[in-house]
Structure 1
Amino acid sequence: MRNTLFLLALCASFTVNAQFNTTLRSNLPYNTGVNDIWGYVAPDGTEYAIVGLETGVSFVSLADPDNPVEVDRIPGDFSPWRDMKTFGEYAYVVADRGDEGLTVIDLSALPDSVSFTHNQYDVPGFNRTFVRAHNIYIDVPSGRAFVSGGDRNLNDGGILIFDLVANPAQPPLIGVGPETYSHDVFVQDSFMYCSEIYDGELAIYNISDLDNITEAGTTLTPFTFTHNAWTTADGLSVFTTDEEPNAPVAAYDISDPSDIKLIDEYRPLATLNRGVIPHNVHVLDEYLVISYYTDGVIIVDASEPDNLIEVGQYDTWDGPDGDFNGCWGAYPFLPSGLVLGSDRQTGLYVLDAVYQRAARLAGTIIDRDLRTPLNNVQVDIQASQLNTGATDPLGRYKTGLAEGGTYDVIFTADNYLPLTVSVDLTNGMTTTLDTSLQTTVPRFNVNVTVVDDETGEPIPNANLLYFNEEERYDVLTNEEGQAAINNVFEGDYELFITEWGYRTIGVENAAPSALGNQVYRLSRGYMDDFVTDEGWTETATARTGLWERGVPVGTSFDSRAFQPGVDAPRDFGRQAYLTGNGAADASTDDIDGGTVTLTSPLFDLTRVREPSISYQYWFAVAGGTPPLDDTMRVLLDNGTDRAELAFYTEWSTEWAADTFVVSDYLEPTATMQLIVIAGDTGEGHLVEAGFDNFAVNGSVIPVSTEAVFAPEVAVAVFPNPSPGAFSLQYDLPFSTAESTLRLTNVSGQIVQERELSGKNGSLEVGLDLPAGLYFAEILDGNRRLWVGKVVKQ
């Protein structure tokens, strides 16, 4: 028996970091690495800590919490990962190295000693023996143990289920869960919550019938590396961790498991963006007790799960932030209220905790003049505790503190005057504060009309993306080709106009004051830079790594760039299509277990002379077991036949370009489609792909309409080029009140328009235009009678 007592003053020599609403009672170090922690209450009421070690399991009496005593220790195969749970007078342990299987420990002789057996199991249907696992959970009401994270060649590391009631000393295997690797598992009320870490998702299963386990719902977690999950007692909310630097603890509404909703995320503000990693979250009376590696034990009030507020902390780690050092586990379920923490380097921590409901603040912020909600207003409570809040698109905000009191709250937003309001906050309550902000800069109405450059007809449902760093507007044109964006703050914006079947227009420095009534003319053709959604579809047989449109997030593997962090050069915008696009680690959300397919909308090549197709791409494959047999294929379909344009197998993590003449492969038709397929087949590898800058090249055959140039029109422009105004003389074959002269720039914007007087005459135009190339047109209603180019010097 070993007895180690550390006085609080001595403990402070290596645990000098932040703490509030917690008190250190004692610390017990070990001569080996420490991993997980659990607790046990003997029939006589004595509380014990069960500490996972790299070389076994330790049993510590907490009869005197200020003087913890290790009463026994069992040896085990070396493993950095051990997990323990209890049922009755037994503890059940798994390790994911070695071959101990399910270790059953008899605790009935404590404090004198413990005894144990290792149990291995043949699993029906797999011709394999269960010898190791990463995690275990025991559903006490049903008396069942759920083991997860075993060997990938046994049920893919999915769930195995044991009956502890039938034989607690050697429980029989009674069920097998889905064949999907589950890193951790939690069970409550006939639902099983699996942290399917390599799929990046939380999966909820109905296990009311173990012979027919069915999926109730899934959701990707914020960093798609789902490590652990735990629900509230009512089963309406679940909280997850992603074991990644800077990842949050996420809160979800699971009142309808088929429609899981993310409702909040918590990150420790004192170490924000320092690479701190959350490990495990447990729930006690609507408090989250989180082991947060280098941030120690953190307590969060989750009584309002959509407004998570930190109310306690004890930091067990005195080293630098980030990495996998520090607090592995935290156990809050002892009847005494003690919280047990396990630090990988410094051992067992016994803590007192004050569980205190947060003092919350919520409300809505609107524009004082327009009475419309304001998005992204920053809300800062002037307090010693760090806090953060911001309004959503509906103007709503939620925030709070651990301590109630009277505080100043400052509301700030770009283009608005800051506002300070004094407010009383009360623990256990939410104070509502609605207010408004006054703008400081002028606003403008943007009105845009989009028409077909060939016919002059309006283009309905064209996409307008108008944005800068602070604001973003996504608008569709109406049946008249018109789109309006009202009350836009002055500033530098970018404008993109897209529609499938037309060439994209991009305008830089598109100030709203200059867009009061602009007409843009789209040329016919096919191109897609993916700045907007033009109707490509994504399908998959793979579990992860699905195609998604977004701004690329760069990834790396083995100290080498894997996914580029930029889109293709020489195109509009910053978006591309990527296979999984969420985290910096290449193994997170890459293509796994199948193929992912990206399919274009239909396009008509019957009006294109000598059409060719071009695009940019990259493809990356690495890791796993040779051979690297994964591919990216590009196919072309004409509605009847299908041909393969490209077959990529080599690692090319920089954007490359390819061009193909359509007639070399298929007959051009009106029902063409491009299909891009990337896949992880055979042995598992890291596989990612990107696709961007699609275009059909070739001259468009004009539409045969009445908008044909009239041969009788005589027009002369001089001087051309001109440093000043242009003099235009015209002679038309008829006189009409609808004849106009229109000048447009290279972006299709109308920069000047003049009515023509009579069938012939002259006028001066372009005096105030900046230098550049312009197109001059004479129109009779919708008929284009003449077009020419003019150059302003």
Structure 2
Amino acid sequence: MGKPLNFRTYSFITICLLGSIGLLQGQKNFNLELVSNFDYAQLVADVWGYVGPDGTEYAIVGTFTGTSFISLKDPSNPEEVLFIPGAQSIWRDMHNWGDYVYAVADRGEDGLLIVDMSNAPDSMPFKFWRPQIELSAEINMLNRCHNLWIDEKGYGYLSGCNLNRGGVLIIDLHSDPWNPTFLSAAADYYSHDNYTRDDIMFSADIVDGFFSIHDVSDRTNPILLNTQTTTSQFTHACWLSDDGRYLFTTDERPNSFVDAYDVTDPLDIKYISSFRPKTTEGLGVIPHNVHYYNGFLVVSWYTDGIVVIDAHRPENMVKVGQYDTWPGAHGGFNGAWGAYPYLPSGLVLGSDRQSGLYVFEPNYVRASYLEGRVTSSVDGQSIPGVEVEILVEVPTNTATNPSGNYKTGSASEGIQEVVFSHPQYHDLSVEVELIRGVITELNVELTPNNLFFLEGTILEESTQSPIQEAIIEFDRTSNPETIERGLTDLSGNFKLLLQPDTLNISFGKWGYSREHLLNFEFLENSFLNIELNKGYSDDFHMDLSWEVSSTTSAGQWQRAIPAGSISEGQIVHPDADVPDDFGKKAFVTGQPIDGNPFSDFPESGSTILLSPVINRSDFDFSPVLSFSYWLFNETNHSDNYFKVYLEGDNGEVLLLEFNETTQGWTRVENLSLFDAMERIGSRIRLRFEVKNSSNNLVVGGLDNLIIEDNFLSTTEHLASSYVWNFYPNPANDHITIVLSNDFLLEKPFVEIFDSGGKRAFKGQIGSRSETFNIGHLPSGIYLINLLTKSGQRVESKQFIIKK
């Protein structure tokens, strides 16, 4: 058991001084009045609140070197009454169950700090609980955790510990708060934080980019119910609304949001909306921890300080308060770390990494809501992308969605001016009366500038069937850097209202070809008939909705014009996409800035690029894959790789693995997908993964992808009636060739050539299904030829041998 250290008092910064910080930062502090600030000579992490038996309120602050207990008996003059040294850690979180406070650190071997506050401040005994826990037949000590939660029944939930791969550990505190008991471990997703109430646990699984929901009614046997990916796929924290209907989450990435989800039915999670402050939008600010209090969210938003959001209507969240604790530049991990709005006095606590504890007097005001629809005065069509700005001191602008609808609001009330603007329409200014807590509906019409209609129909060429949700993507000679888009309706029709200009237009959809109309002089109303062929290909000129996920914030796949870089005389990034496809874009990782190959590469981790769904029924025979790629592997370490998978409902197949630096673009031709598609079921997708496991420079790229049936013309080879295939691919020791009955009559020969063109094997096929031993051949890319008994080549296919 530990003993309290001597009382210490740090100087606190006056209201006048901290009030000037907002001026330095250029942001308005409002509806959070500073009461006091307690600074530390070290970095600070999270903050929690506690009320002693005598009614004294306390702030409990995690610091770099330990846990600090601050008496708020006089909130304007906070006083430290206990400091418990611990492992040095920038992550430290606290919670309480009754009169016991618990704390964890994500470094060192503190285990779980337990502090008995029942006689505070006179006596505050503490100890570190480091139990031996058995999991999967192994016994290990609990050394560290990233976070913790304690539910209303006195059960603790430890996130991000050194056990269970960081998945939540459940402990019993209510039976004996001084001597906890380990109960069980939840699913081994790494949990960054969690919130548990009414026997349901919500875990923020940051590495996987989702939150997971668990039934913990039996704490000895937690059951995973569902997962939900958040908007920036880096789920950091979550908090449940008082009625249990909504879950609010944060993603700890630049320019990310607070998300709102309807979790009434854990098996049917519904995304509602997202919020981020307009004052610093696009400046790289990062949300950290979110807390729900009586319909409001109190969020620590790093360099934006403490932000208060009216979340009574999760579909239209509005900022109604802020105090910016950080006077420096926007973006990064400086500033406000934690918040705590639950003290009986109503005071709000905040922790700033650099400047310590803040105590605020909040003024919770309801937002004045403004919602409506914007249409064209010409034809009544909805107008997407209209900027809607309420001209108040704190910016509250938003934009209309594809249906022309908008939702916004303000912390202000009364008569306000609202401006609607769109580059293709005349601005419109309207005065409207806003009332706090009330939805004011305002529908407006905008008058176009000099506009014409670009209309058309997109059909499948062979059947003349309409193609719905086909993409129309174009840029203008007057503004070539801005890409605009439209979609066809259920009948394959599109109608765009545009200013006259010279347009470069592309038409396409995943599963179809693309057509390009360059230097189209759009000077009047025009109608276009476009026909697309069935087929899978992508030169990445258009955005066909590939998905990107990553275990690291740097070096992710991105669709971009490749920027070249060189390191020690070697090409790291090619300076262009492949020369024989349309457009200039490719998917690349680690895109360099100003030629610096190290400007955006992850020191470790992987980034994954996932194609849209491929329908097996679109192929009549044997689909083959071709694509161009490049890889730079600084050390050619075998744990660093570029892998290609085919995945489906029934599993996945590794198609290719590359480890060697390519020195620019390299082409893979006619890789058979036949065997893989037969094994993995439906909802087939391609997955490209670049992984860096050695902390060296590892980057790659992808372009000019084609999936097609392996039909051969009679002008190139023999008659197409000679049908054959082979499996597996990749192969190991054996390969099996399957022939049609007509082809078997030819008694054909098989030849295998290595990548250097040297024949490595020859044999004759005597049965419809013949297996050959190729165990003597090393790993590599090979070409398999079939020849008639007279020696005429029928067809060649590429395959992989992987040992």
TM-score by length of structure 2 reads 0.73
**Pair 1:136 & 2:148 matched:** yes
Shift in CA distance, 635/656, structure 1 to aligned 2, threshold 3 Å: farther
How far off its partner does 1:160 sit?
0.4
Contact 1:381 1:407 in 2 (8 A): yes
Deviation at 1:370, TM superposition (A): 1.5
Distance 1:562 1:72 in 2: 55
Distance 1:627 1:15 in 2: 51
- Which residue matches 2:753? none
Local SS of the residue matching 1:199: coil
Which residue in 1 is equivalent to 2:282? Answer: 273
Q: Gaps spanning 5+ residues in structure 1: where? A: 637-641, 703-793
Classify the secondary structure of the residue corresponding to 1:180.
coil
Matched, 1:284 2:283: no
Q: What do residues 152-200 of structure 1 show as CA deviations (whole Å, max 9, x unaligned)? A: xx21111001111111001101121111100111112222111111111
Matches within 5 A, 1:407-426: 407-426=416-435
Residue aligning to 1:169: 178
The question of whether the paired residues in 2 share the 8 Å contact of 1:579 and 1:590 is answered with: no
**Does the CA contact (< 8 Å) of 2:637 and 2:694 recur in 1?**
no
Instruction: Tell me the distance in 2 between the aligned counterparts of 1:207 and 1:575.
Output: 48
Q: Distance in 1 between matches of 2:455 and 2:223?
A: 52
Q: 1:492 to 1:690 in 2, by over 3 A?
A: same
Q: Give the secondary-structure state (helix, strand or coil) at the position aligned to 1:19.
A: coil
Q: CA deviation at 1:227?
A: 1.1
The partner residue of 1:120 within 103, 106, 130 is 130
Deviation string, structure 1 residues 554-579 (Cα, Å, up to 9, x no partner): 9999x999999996554335776789
Q: 2:157 aligns with which of 136, 146, 166?
A: 146
2:182 maps to a residue whose letter is L
Describe the shift of the 1:517–1:327 C-alpha distance in structure 2 as closer, same or farther (beyond 3 A). closer
Q: Which of 372, 386, 389 is matched with 2:398 structurally? A: 389
Q: Distance in 1 between matches of 2:534 and 2:502?
A: 28
The residue number in structure 1 matching 2:516 is 506
Aligned-partner residue type, residue 20 of structure 1 = F
Say whether the 8 Å CA contact 2:645–2:654 is kept in structure 1.
Answer: yes
Which one of 629, 636, 646 corresponds to residue 617 of structure 1?
A: 629
1:85 aligns with 2:90: no
Pair 1:353 & 2:362 matched: yes
Deviation of 1:37 after TM superposition, in Å, equals: 0.6
- For the residues of structure 1 that align with 2:446 and 2:109, how far apart are their CA atoms? 64
> Is the 2:251–2:288 contact (alpha carbons within 8 Å) kept by the matching residues of 1?
yes
Counterpart residue type for residue 132 of structure 1: R
> Contact 2:48–2:340 (CA<8 Å) still a contact in 1?
yes
Residue 245 (structure 1) aligned with residue 254 (structure 2): yes
User: Do residues 12 (structure 1) and 18 (structure 2) align?
Assistant: yes
Cα separation, 2, equivalents of 1:566 and 1:239:
42
Distance 2:379 2:665 in 1: 49
Structure 2 distance, partners of 1:631, 1:186, is 37
| Structure 1 residues 174 and 605: CA distance shift in structure 2, 3 A | closer
- Distance across 2 between alignment mates of 1:643 and 1:301: 48
Equivalent in the alignment of 1:182: 191
**Maintained 8 Å contact 1:330/1:339:** yes
The Cα of 1:406 is off from its aligned counterpart by: 0.7
**Alignment of 1:551 onto 2:551:** no
Separation in structure 1 between the aligned mates of residue 548 and residue 396 of structure 2, nearest angstrom? 41
Identity fraction in percent? 36
SS in 1 for 2:628: strand
2: CA distance, partners of 1:10 / 1:2: 24
Measure the CA separation in 2 of the matches of 1:414 and 1:643.
Answer: 48
**Residue type of the alignment partner of 2:473:** F
Conserved 8 A contact 2:473-2:484: yes
Q: 1:32 is matched by which residue type in structure 2?
A: Q
1:378 aligns with 2:384: no
How does 1:255-274 map onto structure 2 within 5 Å?
A: 255-274=264-283
Which amino acid in the other structure matches residue 127 of structure 2? T
Give CA-to-partner distance per residue, 1:215-251, whole Å, 9 cap, x none. Answer: 3332222222211111111122121112222222222
Structure 2 unaligned runs (5+)? 1-6, 475-481, 592-598, 716-803
User: Does structure 1 retain, via aligned residues, the 8 Å contact 2:558–2:589?
Assistant: no
| Contact 1:22-1:353 within 8 A present in 2 as well | yes
Q: How well do the aligned residues superpose, as a CA RMSD in angstroms? A: 4.7
Alignment of 1:39-58 (within 5 A): 39-58=49-68
Q: Distance in 1 between matches of 2:333 and 2:674?
A: 58
CA distance in 2 between partners of 1:510 and 1:85 (Å) = 64
Deviation at 1:502? 7.5
Tell me the distance in 2 between the aligned counterparts of 1:404 and 1:489: 37
Q: Secondary structure at the match of 1:12?
A: helix
User: What is the aligned partner in structure 2 of residue 749 from structure 1?
Assistant: none
Pair 1:137–1:675, CA change in 2 (3 A): closer
Deviation at 1:260, TM superposition (A): 2.9
SS at match of 1:224: coil
How far, CA to CA, are the matches of 2:60 and 2:679 in structure 1? Answer: 65
Q: Which shows bigger deviation, 365-374 or 643-652? A: 643-652
The answer on 1:474 being equivalent to 2:474 is no
The correspondence for 1:61, drawn from 65, 71, 74, is: 71
Q: How does 1:385-784 map to 2 (within 5 A)?
A: 385-444=394-453, 446-448=455-457, 458=464, 461=467, 464-468=470-474, 469=482, 471-475=484-488, 483=493, 485=495, 490-498=500-508, 504-511=514-521, 516=526, 518=528, 527-529=537-539, 551=559, 570-572=580-582, 586=602, 590=606, 601=616, 614-619=626-631, 628=639, 630-633=641-644, 647-650=657-660, 656-660=665-669, 678=688, 691-695=702-706
**Counterparts in 2 of 1:419 and 1:264: CA distance versus 1, 3 Å:** same
Contact 2:590 2:602 in 1 (8 A): no
Q: Distance in 2 between matches of 1:661 and 1:671?
A: 17
Q: How far 1:415 sits from its partner (Å)?
A: 1.8
Secondary structure, in 3 states, of the residue corresponding to 1:234? coil
In 2, the alpha carbon distance for the partners of 1:184 and 1:475 equals 43
1:36 corresponds to 2:46 = yes
Instruction: Give, in whole Å, the separation in 1 of the partners of 2:37 and 2:535.
Output: 71
Q: Does the 8 A contact of 1:553 with 1:584 survive in 2?
A: no
Aligned AA for 1:148?
S
Could you say which structure has the larger radius of gyration? 1
- CA pair 506-555 structure 1, distance change in 2 beyond 3 A: closer
**Aligned counterparts of 1:562 and 1:162: Cα–Cα separation in 2:** 50
Alpha carbons 2:426, 2:449 under 8 Å: kept: yes
Q: CA deviation at 1:81?
A: 1.1
8 Å Cα contact 2:643-2:690 kept in structure 1: no
> What is the distance in 2 between the residues matched to 1:671 and 1:106?
62
Structure 2 counterpart SS, 1:417? strand
In 1, distance between residues paired with 2:407 and 2:511?
44
